[in-house]
Copies of this chain bind each other. A is one copy, B any other.
């Protein structure tokens, strides 16, 4: 982390006060907007997949959907580009304070993350433990290390402490998760820059 301890504390206090009630999705959307405005990264949340079954056209240009259903997503919620890399992740909150239940991630989302890693993208999870107000980035490689070695239905909080990277709260952006992605790129991923 490039934050001196004092600054983190200050930012955390400001943010906790100002953004009371902000959830993970709102934090990520605000952070992604910031990254876009600063021309740092172009990462977006995909629209919610909907099955439309009835549409009315009161006028030629205005369609109103009158019946539709939520569909299960076939991929993750967020993707985009950063430092020439294809970025892909799923973000989830849990009220559970001792572990993250794997039932929160659909099997085809897990398969999707694995496909992305195999093809040279950067894939990860962002998990917030809401009761602790702590957010962790778990690199896809460490996520699959867990799945391959453990036969558990949830990832214990201790695994996030051990293998995950805590994302500090910030002011702008609110959740500076790309600082953690920088560490991943510098680490297990082969650098693509200056090439």
Contacts and interface: CB of A to CB of B under 8 A. Distances in A.
Interface of A: 36, 39, 41-42, 44, 46-50, 52, 63-71, 74-75, 79-86, 88, 112, 115-116, 118-121, 190, 192, 195
Given A69-B64, A79-B79, A120 B84 contact: yes
Contacts of A41: 119
Nearest to A40: B119
10 contacts: A36-B115, A42-B119, A48-B50, A65-B67, A65-B68, A66-B66, A68-B68, A81-B116, A81-B121, A84-B121
Nearest to A50: B50
A40 to B, nearest CB: 9
How many copies the complex holds: the figure is 2
A69 B65 contact: yes
